[in-house]
Amino acid sequence: MSRFKKEIDALLEKTFTTDETGCKAEVSFDTDFIGFNGHFPNAPVLPGIVMIQLAVMMCERAVGESLHIAGIREAKFTEPVLPREKITAFLSPAEETENGLRVKGSFNKQDKTAARVSLLLETDQKES
């Protein structure tokens, strides 16, 4: 597992919950989080791909399988997330489709929506 995924996984260990309404995690990324490297020098902002990867990893925990992105239906980033800002990530329950699992997520900070995503995920299957 990459350092990037290990750091996200460690955050999920602390606050990830799931129930019939979906799954939720409250996370904040410290200033030394690898995802801030180069994005942007002297003015770090959490890259959108970090929120997308967070959603994938939350869904993996919820369904108990390794997943990868098959498609991004929506990815809207409306508020910057800065180091140490707490965000609450919420995913709707994964919906099975003929093309994979569809999941929708929102990322909120305080009372504002920082991002919304709609992803199509597939199970990682190793070929024999």
Domain range list for the chain: 3-123
Output the pTM of the full model: 0.94
pLDDT tens-digit readout, 66-75: 999 999 999 9
Give, as one character, the DSSP assignment of residue 94: P
Cα 94 to Cα 89: distance, rounded to the nearest angstrom: 15
Helices (H), 16-98: 48-63
Report pLDDT for 66: 95
Dihedral angle sign, alpha carbons of residues 83, 84, 85, 86: positive
Report pLDDT for 41: 85
Q: What superfamily in CATH does domain 3-123 come from?
A: Hotdog Thioesterase (3.10.129.10)
Give, as one character, the DSSP assignment of residue 32: T
User: By the 8 A CB rule, do 16 and 25 touch?
Assistant: yes
Angstrom distances, CA of residue 73 to CA of 18, 66, 90, 110, 118: 23, 20, 17, 25, 5
What residue ranges of the chain have pLDDT lower than 70? 126-128
Report pLDDT for 99: 87
Report pLDDT for 126: 52
